[in-house]
Chains A and B, each alone.
Chain A
């Protein structure tokens, strides 16, 4: 856990979040707590959502992604396989390997809809999929 004490050391060019959740705490909880314990909030919230149907945004992964993953100057949203992705920037530094984004979207809905212009998803070549997978694992084995 100690290593999380040194997190701010990601790449400089990460696009800033959409908004401050709160003037004092900035994020949904104080930043120091979020850096060390964000996964506990998400873990707790995921069961409430899946099992009980509670859909509050405050501690939801969708809420995190919606706010933190913003386009860069060229209007491009980073993928989790890139170190400019908000989550990846720290996970790579701290050598944390998660599997959230094997299933969950790593970008807000608008970015995915944009990427999924008609026919793009209809018949995606196998090769492209395999390349994506190798690329994302390569990030963690370098």
Chain B
């Protein structure tokens, strides 16, 4: 019992830890070999998402190439985040960072996007509750209630959100976007909901042969992402803020 709770603590801090721990115990084993949680995959369309899953991403910066931006291109294509030709105000759902160590000259390359925090500051500050965390851990903007105040953009320590300043057109059906709303990485929520079990950026990264991005269910101990995190660990960026991010990094 103690072990299971300890494992839970690694990926969940704060008040919800206890209830989640109990839920995890309940889900793990009813009888030997009988599991309550779903294997990662398609949920029925008419079923609401649940906290049995917590979707997350593991970024292995050792595999991430400085000159490659396949993840960014794939994200823009998938979600219809076209450039309007003005980089200062163009939306960015994911961007590449190259961080150089002045002492050694070593350059670490990594993508930066919404970290899908368990305790998201953007949700705390939103005056209309448009910024919210879905049961399965994906942090989203409900654009129907977003008033474009941009408090969330100021609150986000990762600069993950963008504001749309201009009227848009040719939006894709699965990714409605428009002027006056804040938006950010959705962890390809439309793909997650149809059971793809991956994101556009992770797919593109794998196609490039880099495999620096791994999407998966942090709550499923059998998932590849959980196994890798358990074995090798993963760093949260700004872990000091105690946000328990769903996106973890290795090699930084």
- Give the secondary structure class of A's interface: helix
Q: Let me know if B171 is at the binding interface, CB within 8 A.
A: yes
Query: When A102-B167, A121-B82, A121-B170 are in contact, do A53 and B189 touch as well, CB less than 8 Å?
Result: yes
Nearest neighbor of B130 in chain A, beta-carbon distance? A50
Restricting to A22-80, which residues have a CB under 8 Å from any CB of B? Answer: 46-48, 50-57, 62, 65-66
A3, CB-defined interface residue at 8 Å: no
Summarize B's interface: helix, strand, loop or mixed. Answer: loop
- B143 CB contacts on chain A under 8 angstroms: 103
- Which A97-111 residues have C-beta < 8 A from chain B? 102-105, 108-109
Chain B residues positioned under 8 Å from A53 (CB to CB): 43, 48-49, 134-136, 189, 193
Name which residue of chain B comes closest to A55, CB basis: B45
B48 & A105 in contact (Cβ 8 Å cutoff): no
Q: Kindly provide the distance from the CB of B80 to the nearest chain A CB, expressed in whole angstroms.
A: 8
Shortest A133–chain B CB gap in Å is: 5
Q: A53-B48, A124-B84 are in contact. Are A104 and B173 (CB under 8 A)?
A: yes
Q: Does B179 contact A (CB under 8 A)?
A: yes
Tell me if A96 is interfacial: C-beta within 8 Å of chain B.
no
B102 within 8 A of A: no
- Nearest A residue to B183 by beta-carbon distance? A103
A55 touches B173 (CB 8 A): no
Chain B stretch 119-137: residues in CB contact (< 8 A) with chain A:
132, 134-136
Say if the beta carbon of A138 comes within 8 Å of chain B: no
Q: Which of A56, A112, A133 contacts B170 (CB 8 A)?
A: A112
Chain B residues with CB below 8 A from A126, complex form: 84-85
Residues of B with C-beta under 8 A to A57: 45
Task: Judge whether B167 and A105 touch: CB under 8 Å.
Answer: no
User: Nearest chain B CB to A118's CB is how many angstroms away?
Assistant: 10
* Known interface pairs A55-B45, A102-B179; A122-B83 also in contact (CB < 8 Å): yes
Q: Lowest 8 CB-CB distances: which A-B pairs, in order? A: A103-B178, A53-B49, A52-B48, A103-B176, A105-B173, A121-B82, A55-B45, A104-B176
A-B contacts, 6 listed (Cβ < 8 Å): A51-B142, A53-B43, A103-B143, A123-B85, A124-B169, A126-B84
* Residues on A facing B (Cβ under 8 Å): 46-48, 50-57, 62, 65-66, 102-105, 108-109, 112, 115-116, 121-124, 126, 129, 132-133
Chain B positions within 8 Å of A, measured between CB atoms, are 43, 45-49, 82-85, 132, 134-136, 140, 142-144, 166-174, 176-179, 181, 189-190, 193-194
